[in-house]
């Protein structure tokens, strides 16, 4: 591999990029657009859940219970109901996701210290959201039950009841439980995989469609020099996209970066080289810009979005798909990004992910060199 020929190919590809300002603008603007669109639209938080109230008791005790729901950031009172028919109508028309039913004897039983019940009706169309809403409601009711027990005991001159267990939870790495901190690093990995593959998926295919491949074949440029030379400009462009994405994560979404920028930069570079080489390999194999772009989208975005652990926990996937996820490079990069961003861990804790990404990059570059042949058929 001679540097002179390598530089000539890289310079030629750079001119292609610079002379197409629309494509250059899209390659920079599209990652930012996707990051902001998904970053603001995707959320795992369930809050401000609308609920309707059927308060049959109408006592101070029932109003105190309701105030615990309305005073919580997780619930918003959407209106009152006068029966199960109105509750059903509110749930059917999506005016509410939950209904709170307080029985007639709630205030009397609560004041007497007797066991009483309240009913929570949850729209179970979305099972995950329904489970979370039910857990929120149970936590509020349990808190109200303990406070009620203390008040009844004090009114009778008795010692307040003591819980046999005192649970004190502490969340590490994301103490405020902000889902944005978890989503944005994963989004960076998914978007960079897609954009990097799309950038290079058109390079060799464009040469075939425009008829300039014959000229390249007639030159003494070797296949390895052509592959690496075409990669270099896009490595620089992809690195710029990565810098902008990291800056947007820090300044737009306020995601803390607790780890080393050097580790993040080096691993991002390895990941980008692998993703760009994958796009180049697709371009070499398909020899068609339209087909290459379609294959690049299917081969990068869908696995990175669905099988990397970005949206769905890998442990909850079917066993067969769990095995497939080991071949998805975004899986390792997402673990690395979240480790650097949220936990501040270093290479010693992430060396396995780094090794997998390095193997992926070397494999993609090697396959691209092997698949490129200097012949017309």
CA distance 268 to 146: 51
Which of 35-39, 75-79, 211-215, 220-224 has the least mean pLDDT? 211-215
Judge whether 137 and 120 are in contact, CB under 8 Å.
yes
Burial of residue 368, with CB atoms counted within 10 A of its CB: 0-12 exposed, 13-18 middle, 19 or more buried: buried
Q: Could you report the per-residue pLDDT of 348-365, keeping only the tens digit for each?
A: 888 899 999 999 999 999
The number of angstroms, rounded, from the C-alpha of 25 to the middle of its chain's C-alpha atoms is 25
Count other Cβ atoms within 10 Å, centred on residue 325. 17
CATH architecture observed for domain 49-155: 3-Layer(aba) Sandwich (3.40)
Provide the pLDDT for residue 303.
92
Model confidence at 228: pLDDT above 80: yes
Mean pLDDT of the chain: 87
Give 228's Cβ-side CA count (13 Å radius): 14
Q: Could you report the per-residue pLDDT of 235-259, keeping only the tens digit for each?
A: 999 999 999 999 998 898 888 888 8
Model confidence at 374: pLDDT above 70: no
Provide the pLDDT for residue 330.
94
pTM: 0.81
pLDDT band at 211 (very low <50, low <70, confident <90, very high): confident
Which run of H or E residues covers position 50?
strand 49-55
Model confidence at 376: pLDDT above 60: no
Q: Could you report the per-residue pLDDT of 41-61, keeping only the tens digit for each?
A: 877 778 899 999 999 988 888
Domain ranges of the chain: 3-43+178-371, 49-155
Which of 4-8, 102-106, 179-183 has the least mean pLDDT? 4-8
Provide the pLDDT for residue 163.
67
Provide the pLDDT for residue 375.
65
């Amino acid at each position: 591999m001679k540097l002179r020929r390598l530089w000539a190919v890289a310079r030629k590809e750079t001119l292609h990029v610079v002379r197409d300002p629309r494509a250059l603008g899209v390659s920079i603007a599209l990652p930012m657009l996707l990051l902001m669109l998904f970053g603001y639209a995707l959320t795992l938080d369930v809050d401000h859940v609308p609920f309707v109230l059927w308060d049959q008791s109408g006592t101070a005790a029932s109003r105190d219970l309701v105030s615990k729901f309305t005073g919580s950031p997780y619930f918003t009172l959407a209106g009152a109901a006068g029966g199960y028919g109105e509750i059903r109508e509110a749930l059917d028309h999506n005016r509410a996701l939950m209904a709170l039913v307080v029985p007639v004897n709630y205030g009397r039983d609560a004041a007497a210290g007797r066991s009483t019940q309240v009913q929570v009706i949850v729209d179970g169309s979305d099972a995950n959201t329904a489970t979370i809403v039910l857990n929120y409601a149970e936590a509020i009711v349990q808190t109200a039950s303990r406070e009620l027990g203390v008040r009844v005991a004090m009114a009778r001159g008795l010692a307040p009841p003591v819980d046999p267990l005192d649970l004190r939870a502490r969340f590490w790495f994301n103490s405020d439980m902000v889902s944005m901190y978890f989503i944005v690093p994963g989004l960076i990995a998914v978007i960079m995989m897609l954009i990097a593959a799309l950038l290079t998926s058109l390079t060799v295919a464009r040469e075939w469609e425009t008829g300039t491949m014959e000229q390249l074949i007639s030159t003494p440029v070797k296949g390895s020099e052509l592959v690496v030379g075409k990669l270099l400009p896009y490595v620089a462009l992809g690195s710029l996209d990565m810098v902008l994405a990291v800056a947007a994560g820090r300044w737009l979404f306020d995601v803390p970066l607790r780890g080393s920028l050097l580790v993040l930069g080096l691993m991002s570079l390895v990941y980008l080289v692998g993703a760009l080489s994958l796009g180049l390999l697709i371009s070499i194999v398909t020899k068609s810009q339209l087909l290459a772009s379609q294959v690049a989208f299917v081969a990068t975005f869908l696995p990175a979005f669905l099988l990397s652990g970005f949206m769905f926990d890998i442990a909850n996937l079917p066993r067969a798909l769990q095995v497939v996820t080991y071949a998805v490079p975004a899986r390792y990069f997402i673990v690395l990004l979240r480790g650097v961003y949220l936990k501040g861990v270093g290479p010693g804790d992430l060396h396995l992910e780094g090794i997998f990404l390095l193997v992926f990059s070397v494999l993609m570059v090697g396959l691209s060199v092997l698949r490129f042949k200097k012949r017309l058929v």
